[in-house]
């Protein structure tokens, strides 16, 4: 038998209340969407680092995940489609002491923003990029993305996607990212730990997070949100240090999760400082 909560009990404060713009709730994310869980993992990580909140800033591009910047209660920027990374780069270059998080989606970061992603990785720009990958353009209504699986249906590939999707960790690795990981929104704790790792380290960190879009991707591909979660649970394999070339998303073979790359290399701002401001070096 369930009991109603005690009306007179003190109000339970959400553990992340200080990091959420509660005056903006309810959020716009759909029922069954995974972005909220990814966002929660990200906020938990920010909190767990113990770094003062005003040392963080979050930058997003456009789309559903891009709304993340609007809900975090720190200095945050909701920019134009695909441009979160160059905006973050400008912040980092002008204020290298800030901890810069880019929170955005696969459509934003890898189609229109693909060029920026590879160059920021190449430079080892000291930012943390969290990509919520729902395999589609969610907010625009479920068109094909650069991550949509071959033959998957979308509102612009109604018979099936003729293209091949990107292997995101492989792009990140090949471009020079010094931290690359993949989790799903179901692996909330692993994800939060990974984000915390990234926030505490220097260099370009990239985390791909698989997340369902039941309304715009699932519906067209006959996949209910719980089924997607079951796939995340049953058909994923945690394999740290896996070869990035073998990280294609294929649930029939099992999708590999884990931390694939963690290299210590000077970040862009460190290099710039040592070359261009040598007198400031110890």
For 243-272, the DSSP string reads -GGG----TTT-EEEEEEEE-----HHHHH
Among 27, 30, 75, 140, binds other proteins (CB under 8 A): 75
120 versus 210: smaller Cβ distance to other proteins: 120
For the CB of residue 193, give the shortest distance to other proteins in the complex, in Å: 26
How many Cβ atoms are within 10 Å of 52's Cβ, its own excluded? 9
CB atoms within 10 A of CB 193: 18
Smaller CB separation from other proteins, 4 or 277: 277
Verify binding: residue 86, other proteins, rule CB under 8 A: yes
Contact status: 95 vs other proteins (CB under 8 A): yes
Are 45 and 72 contacting, i.e. CB atoms less than 8 angstroms apart? no
Distance (Å, whole) CA 25 – CA 30: 13
Residues numbered 99-118 forming contacts with other proteins, rule: CB under 8 A: 115-116
Q: Does 140 bind other proteins (CB under 8 A)?
A: no
Tokens of 142: 């479920």
Closer residue to other proteins in complex, CB, 77/170 = 77
Is residue 210 a contact point for other proteins (CB under 8 A)? no
Query: Quick check: 54 binds other proteins (CB under 8 A)?
Result: yes
Site membership for other proteins, residue 21 (CB under 8 A): yes
54 class by beta-carbon count within 10 Å (0-12 exposed, 13-18 middle, 19+ buried): exposed
By the rule CB under 8 A, 90 interacts with other proteins: yes
What are the structure tokens assigned to 80, written together? Answer: 């134009």
What phi and psi values does residue 100 have, to the nearest 5 degrees?
-105, 125
182 in contact with other proteins (CB under 8 A): no
CB 55 → other proteins: shortest distance, Å? 7
Q: From the list 39, 87, 166, 217, which residue makes contact with other proteins (rule: CB under 8 A)?
A: 87
Q: Does 88 bind other proteins (CB under 8 A)?
A: yes
Considering only residues 230 through 259, tell me which ones interact with other proteins, judged by CB under 8 A: none
User: Dihedral of the CA atoms 153, 156, 157, 158 (nearest 10)?
Assistant: 70
Pairing state between β 255-262 and 179-184: antiparallel
247: its two tokens: 């990280």
Q: Which is nearer to other proteins, 115 or 158 (CB)?
A: 115
* DSSP 8-state secondary structure symbol assigned to residue 206: E
CB 168 within 8 A of CB 132: no
The minimum distance between CB 33 and other proteins, in angstroms, equals 18
Can residue 47 be called a binding residue for other proteins (CB under 8 A)?
A: no
Q: Does 271 bind other proteins (CB under 8 A)?
A: no
Distance CA 46, CA 196 (A): 7
Instruction: Name the residues that contact other proteins, by CB under 8 A.
Output: 21, 23-24, 53-55, 57, 59, 69-70, 73-80, 83, 85-95, 98, 115-116, 119, 272, 276-277
């Amino acid at each position: 038998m369930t009991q109603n909560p005690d009306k007179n009990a003190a109000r339970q404060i959400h553990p992340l209340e200080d990091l959420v713009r509660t005056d903006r709730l309810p959020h716009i994310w759909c029922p069954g969407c995974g972005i909220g869980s990814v966002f929660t993992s990200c906020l938990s990580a920010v909190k767990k680092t113990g770094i003062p909140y005003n040392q963080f800033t979050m930058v997003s591009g456009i789309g559903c995940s891009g709304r993340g910047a609007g809900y975090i209660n720190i200095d945050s920027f909701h920019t134009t489609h695909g441009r979160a990374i160059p905006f973050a780069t400008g912040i980092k270059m002008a204020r290298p002491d800030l901890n810069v998080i880019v929170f955005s989606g696969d459509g934003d970061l890898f189609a229109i923003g693909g060029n920026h992603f590879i160059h920021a990785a190449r430079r080892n720009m000291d930012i943390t990029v969290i990509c919520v990958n729902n395999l589609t353009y969610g907010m625009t209504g479920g068109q094909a993305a650069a991550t949509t699986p071959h033959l998957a249906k979308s509102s612009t590939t109604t018979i099936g996607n003729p293209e091949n999707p990107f292997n995101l960790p492989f792009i990140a690795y090949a471009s020079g990212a010094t931290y690359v990981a993949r989790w799903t929104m179901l692996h909330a704790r692993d994800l939060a730990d990974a984000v915390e790792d990234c926030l505490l380290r220097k260099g370009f960190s990239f985390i791909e997070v698989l997340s369902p879009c039941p309304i715009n991707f699932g519906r067209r591909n006959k996949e209910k949100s719980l089924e997607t979660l079951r796939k995340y649970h049953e058909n994923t394999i945690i394999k740290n240090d896996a070869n990035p070339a073998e990280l294609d998303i294929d649930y029939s073979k099992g999708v590999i999760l884990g931390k694939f790359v963690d290299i210590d290399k000077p970040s862009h701002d460190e290099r710039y400082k040592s070359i261009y401001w040598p007198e400031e070096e110890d």
